[in-house]
């Protein structure tokens, strides 16, 4: 249990206590710019685990299949084993971040329709953007699987846009990852937290997410704690 099977930038993965499971531990480390910027943010693991677990429970209650089996401790969860599909699936409601930069659209501009975007999960290549035909050509996922993850991502967007709105927060965009279980089902994996979403205060548009770390806006953990407090009150 003390040696992780895998250690990522923000999480460690250990063998699970039951067959076909893993234990995931949320770390305090924060990275940005493909690992160029690094910091240890006190309590980030606890806050992100609490936020992600609350969101995962909400999604599961609303019919989204996820890897979460049970919460084990403040930073630890037991999850179903799944082979991660190496895609970052990004949904955008409002222009921000790389979308604003790439297409020359001011941050905060409403989009005429939602965007679903895929990137290859490969830090050494800088997570390049993929179209569905790239995904097929590279053998990353089959057509039905691309359809499945797109439908799931859009459903997650609807559920989370509503949940965050109740918490006084605008869901600007987010990234999710999916995995395939032994029986061939595609389930939501990884975390959903202020590390993987853009969250703006509904009244002031103040940033409450990892952009505070990426852009040196300060008080990062105070805002994560506020996101958790508001979600707990909203649910
Ligand atoms: P982007 O605008 O930088 O492409 O990011 C879009 C969303 O995806 C944003 O909410 C942050 C999230 N994201 C991650 O969680 N991990 C990543 O590696 C990247 C690039 C983005």
- pLDDT by residue (tens digit) across 87-130? 999 999 999 999 999 999 999 999 999 999 999 999 999 999 99
Q: Which of 93, 97, 207 best tests ligand 1's pocket when mutated (most atoms within 8 Å of CB)? A: 97
Q: Is the CB of residue 188 less than 8 Å from the CB of residue 176?
A: yes
Q: What is the pLDDT of residues 147-198, one digit of tens each?
A: 999 999 999 999 999 999 999 999 999 999 999 999 999 999 999 999 999 9
- Taking residues 51-75, report their average pLDDT: 98
d(CA 41, CA 43): 6
Number of the ligand 1 atom closest to the C-alpha atom of 98: 2
Q: Give helix 143-166 / helix 220-234 axis angle, nearest 10°.
A: 90
The answer, yes or no, to whether any atom of ligand 1 lies below 6 A from the CB of 99, is yes
The answer, yes or no, to whether any atom of ligand 1 lies below 6 A from the CB of 12, is no
Q: Is the CB of residue 195 less than 8 Å from the CB of residue 227?
A: no
* Phi, psi for 201 (deg, rounded to 5): -60, 135
Q: Is the pLDDT reported for residue 83 higher than 70?
A: yes
Rg (CA), the chain: 17
The answer, yes or no, to whether any atom of ligand 1 lies below 6 A from the CB of 207, is no
Candidates 209, 223, 169, 187; CA nearest to 59 is 187
**C-alpha separations of 70 from 13, 26, 67 in Å:** 15, 14, 9
Q: Is the pLDDT reported for residue 134 higher than 90?
A: yes
Six token digits for residue 190 = 């990884």
**C-alpha separations of 208 from 36, 79, 125, 162, 199 in Å:** 22, 27, 29, 17, 5
How much is the pLDDT for 59?
Answer: 98
For tokens 């919460």, name the residue.
71
Candidates 21, 17, 149, 169; CA nearest to 93 is 169
The answer, yes or no, to whether any atom of ligand 1 lies below 6 A from the CB of 98, is yes
DSSP string, 85-98: PSEEEEEEEE--HH
- Taking residues 42-67, report their average pLDDT: 98
Q: Is the pLDDT reported for residue 203 higher than 80?
A: yes
Pairing relationship of beta strands 6-7 and 68-71 according to DSSP bridges: unpaired
Q: Which domains does the chain have, with CATH numbers?
A: 6-80 (3.30.200.20), 83-219 (3.30.470.20)
Count how many Cα atoms sit within 13 Å of the Cα of residue 128 in the half-sphere of its side chain: 8
**What pairs with residue 78 in β-bridges?**
23, 70
């Amino acid at each position: 249990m003390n040696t992780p099977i895998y250690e990522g930038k923000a999480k460690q993965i250990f063998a699970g206590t039951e067959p076909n499971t893993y234990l995931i531990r949320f770390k305090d480390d924060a990275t940005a710019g493909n690992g160029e910027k690094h910091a240890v943010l006190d309590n980030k693991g606890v806050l992100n685990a609490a936020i992600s677990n609350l969101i995962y429970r909400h999604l599961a209650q609303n019919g989204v299949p996820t890897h979460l089996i049970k919460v084990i401790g403040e930073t630890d969860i037991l999850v179903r084993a799944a082979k991660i599909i190496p895609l970052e699936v990004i949904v955008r409601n409002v222009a921000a971040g790389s979308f604003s930069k790439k297409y020359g659209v001011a941050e905060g501009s409403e989009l005429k329709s939602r965007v679903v975007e895929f990137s290859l999960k490969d830090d050494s290549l800088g997570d390049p953007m993929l179209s569905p035909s790239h995904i097929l050509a590279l053998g990353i996922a089959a057509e039905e699987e691309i359809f499945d993850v797109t439908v799931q991502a859009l459903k997650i967007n609807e559920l989370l846009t509503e949940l965050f709105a109740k918490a006084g927060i605008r869901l600007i965009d987010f990234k999710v990852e999916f995995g395939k279980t032994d029986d061939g089902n595609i389930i939501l994996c990884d975390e959903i937290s202020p590390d993987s979403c853009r969250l703006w205060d509904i009244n002031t548009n103040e940033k409450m997410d990892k952009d505070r770390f990426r852009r040196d806006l300060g008080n990062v953990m105070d805002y994560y704690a506020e996101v958790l407090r508001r979600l707990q009150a909203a649910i």
